[in-house]
Structure 1
C-alpha cells in the first residue's frame, strides 16, 4: 500500500456515473426528465445505449492521465445507489418499471479504479444518490423528493451498497476513502443522520481496516459544531469530515460583488477552516467547491433574478476576477486536509469545469 498523501488535492468526476442535467444538457434534450431517475424512466429501453455511450465518452483513461499530470493526487467519484444493479427498493418515480436504471456502471467503476491505481491517484467513492433521495436535488437522483430518511428499507439499502463497495474494493490499491452519503438535506434529523453514519462506519469496517481506508461523512448543511465529539478516536479511526462551499445559491452571495466574494473566501472560509481544525478532532476536506458565481447556469429550480458579480465585466476583468476568486478559495481550503473541485468537466460552463479553468489560467497548472 502506498503511503497516505500529506494533503488531498483532487477533482470530482461529476455527471459521469450519476447524471446531472445542468452539466450534460445534451443528454436531456427533448425530454421532460430532470434527473437520472426520470431520465431512465422516460427513455425506457432506449436509455441503456445512450448512457453506456456517455460512460465511455465523458471520462476516459486520458482524462485520468491529464489529472495525474497536473499533480493532483485524488478523484472523488459520485455513484448512485443503483450502481450494482436491480436490487434497490421501488420508488413511485420509477413508474411501471421497478428497475429502470441502466446496468453496467459497476464495470465502468472497476475500470476507473484500475486507471487510478495505474496513475497513482487515490479514489474517494461517494454515495451521491440514495434511495428515496436524501436532498431533493437532481444530484440526489430524484429532484424535489426527500424521502430517504422516511423508510427503513431506504436506509438499509444505502448501507448494503456501502458494504458491497467496501467488499469489492477492499484490497484495491486506489481505494482511499468511502463517503457514506453526499449532501443529506438540512432537515434530515441530525440524530438520524448520526445513527446512519455510525452504522455505515461499521459496515465499511467489516471489510476495510482503518489503516487502509478512510470513512467520510458530510456535514448535512449544518454547523460542524453539531458534530463536536462525534466519531472520535480511539473508538473510531480514520474518519474524515466533509463540507461543501459555494457562493452562487444564497441571495446574499448572489448580490455580492467580486471583492465581497473574495473576502468571504479568504476571510470567513479561512476562519471556518481554522475553527474546524481546532475544535472538531477530525481531519476535514472541502469535498466540493467551484468558481461558479452565475446561478442561472447551474439551477433547475431557482426563479431568479440571475444577477451576478461578473455580468458587467469585460473579458480581461472577468479573467482577473476568476483568478483572484480561485486563489482566495485555494488558500483557505489548503488549510484543510484536502479539497476536491466540482467538477472535472461540464458541457456548459468553464467556471465549473476544472480542466477548462486550468487551461484558461484561472486555476493553477500544477498541484505538486
Structure 2
C-alpha cells in the first residue's frame, strides 16, 4: 500500500474513550521501535556522540559520493521484507519509526524539503502494510533538539527547540509535509510529533502540541496523534484536557533492566510493586481522562560473553524477568506498547548484527574502547571510569550544590556530569577516530559493511522474542 492510497474513513485507526478502534472494534498495538535507522543512535550502531557528528566523520573519510552510497545502502538493508515477515510472525502488529529531521531538510537550507527524503520511509511503511503491520511516524530529532539527550541529535546538552520559535516553525512545516504525504495511508497508525520532550517550563510543550495538532488536522483530519509526556515521556502533571483523537504516550524503563542497579531483580513483591507504582504514576493522566494508554518505549539491555562477566547469562535471565513483570502490568492496564528496540549491534535489539559481519569485525577495537571509556550513556557500565568521575562529582557538589537540583531531577549529578564530559566532549573527539575506520574503503566494501545489518546477517535474541510472542497472543477477551 503506497503513501498515496485513498483511505476510506472507516479504515483509519481512531480513538474512542479508552480504546483505539479499527472498524469499531478495540485493537491493542504491540510492537517495537526501529531505532538506529532513520534516526541513528550511538549505542545502537556503534558510532560515538551524536549522529550528525559521526556522519560528518564518515563523509570526511570517504568523500561525498561514497558517503551517500553507504547510507543509502545502510537504510535499505537495515529493514527489508524479511524483517517485516519475521516481525509479523511473532504476532506483533505495529512498528514505531523514529526519524531525524535532517532527512527532510538541512539546517543550511531550511524549509526546502529534500526530494529523496521520504524514499526509505515510504518503502518501509509499504513493506509493513504488506504484512499487516501498522506504523507510527515518530519525530525523534527535531530542529534545535526537543530534549537534552544525544538522541535528539542537537550536539549539546540544551533543548534549544524551546527557546527559538524558528525551530518550532520548521517542525510545524515538517509535520505539514508528512501529513500531506501520508494523509490517505490507513496503515500509518498515526504521528508522534515529538519524542521525549524536555521543556523545563512545562507550558511550552502544551502550547506546541495545540499548535501542531491544528496544523496537522488542517491537512489530515483522520490520523491519531501520539503525544509524549514531558521530561522523557514521564510527566503529565501540567497537561489539561486531552486533544481529540489523540493517544498520550509514556515511556517506562525499569532501573532493574540496566547495569549497576541498586539491587538485582528477583521478582519479590516489593520489586513488583516498584514497577506497578512507577507505571501507575505515568499513566494516571490517561486513566483519569479515560483515554487509551500507549507505552512508547521500555525494555532492558542485555549482556554478552564479550562483556567478560562470568554470570552474564544469569544477568540476562533476571532482565527477561523484569520484562515479563512489565508486560504483565501493561496487560492489566490494557495498554498498547512499543518495546525499544527491533535491531542493533547486540545491546537491546530483538535481532542484531552478527559478531562475524564486516561491520562488527571492522569496528571491534573501537567498540571495546567505547565500552572501556563509558562513552555511551545507554546501557553502559561506568565501573571502569568511576575512579575518575567519583572525585569529579564530589568536587562539583562541593562547588555548586545546586547541581543536585538541576532539571531533570530524575537525573543524579553523576548523570549530568557523564553526559557533558563523556557523552559529549569525549565522544566528539572519538568521532575523529571512528571516521578513520572508513578511510580507503571501496564501494564494494561499504556495501558489505551496510549489509551487516540485513536480516540474513543478523542473529535473533530468541528468549526476548519468545516473551514478546507470548504477550502478543495474550489477546483481550
1:343 corresponds in structure 2 to 341
Aligned pair 1:271/2:280, yes or no?
yes
Aligned pair 1:325/2:322, yes or no?
yes
Q: Pick closer, same or farther for the CA change 1:271–1:98 going to 2, 3 Å.
A: closer
TM-score (norm 2): 0.62
2:31 corresponds in structure 1 to 10
Aligned partner of 2:226 among 216, 226, 229: 216
Q: What is the CA distance between 1:197 and its match in structure 2?
A: 0.5
1:289 corresponds in structure 2 to 298
Matches within 5 A, 1:87-106: 88-90=106-108, 104-106=116-118
| In 2: Cα distance, 1:251 partner to 1:314 partner | 12
TM-score (norm 1): 0.79
1:247 corresponds in structure 2 to 254
Q: What is the CA distance between 1:199 and its match in structure 2?
A: 0.7
Aligned pair 1:237/2:237, yes or no?
no
Q: What is the CA distance between 1:67 and its match in structure 2?
A: 1.0
2:49 corresponds in structure 1 to 34
Q: Pick closer, same or farther for the CA change 1:205–1:191 going to 2, 3 Å.
A: same
Q: What is the CA distance between 1:312 and its match in structure 2?
A: 6.9
Give a deviation string over 1:53-99, Cα, whole Å, max 9, x none: 21011111111111111111111000111232x3x444xxxxxx999
Matches within 5 A, 1:1-368: 1=11, 4=22, 6-25=27-46, 28=47, 34-44=49-59, 45=64, 46-84=66-104, 86=105, 88-90=106-108, 104-145=116-157, 146-187=159-200, 189-209=201-221, 212-221=222-231, 222-227=234-239, 229-231=240-242, 236-248=243-255, 254-259=261-266, 262-263=271-272, 266-272=275-281, 275-292=284-301, 313=311, 315=313, 317-334=314-331, 335-349=333-347, 352-355=348-351, 356-359=460-463, 363-366=467-470, 367-368=472-473
| In 1: Cα distance, 2:301 partner to 2:274 partner | 13
Counterpart contact for 1:180–1:215, Cα < 8 Å:
yes
Q: What's the C-alpha RMSD, in Å, of the aligned pairs?
A: 3.2
Question: How many residues were matched structurally?
Answer: 329
| In 2: Cα distance, 1:180 partner to 1:361 partner | 28
Counterpart contact for 1:225–1:280, Cα < 8 Å:
no
Q: Which has the higher contact order (CA 8 A, sep 6+)?
A: 2
Q: Pick closer, same or farther for the CA change 1:199–1:54 going to 2, 3 Å.
A: same
Counterpart contact for 1:246–1:289, Cα < 8 Å:
yes
Counterpart contact for 2:252–2:279, Cα < 8 Å:
no
Indicate the larger mover: 198-207 or 248-257. 248-257
Unmatched runs of 5 consecutive residues or more in structure 2: 1-10, 13-20, 352-459
Q: Which has the larger radius of gyration?
A: 2
Q: Pick closer, same or farther for the CA change 1:165–1:360 going to 2, 3 Å.
A: closer
Give a deviation string over 1:148-169, Cα, whole Å, max 9, x none: 1121110011111111111101
| In 2: Cα distance, 1:98 partner to 1:265 partner | 45
Unmatched runs of 5 consecutive residues or more in structure 1: 91-96, 298-305
Q: Pick closer, same or farther for the CA change 1:155–1:186 going to 2, 3 Å.
A: closer
Q: Pick closer, same or farther for the CA change 1:359–1:62 going to 2, 3 Å.
A: farther
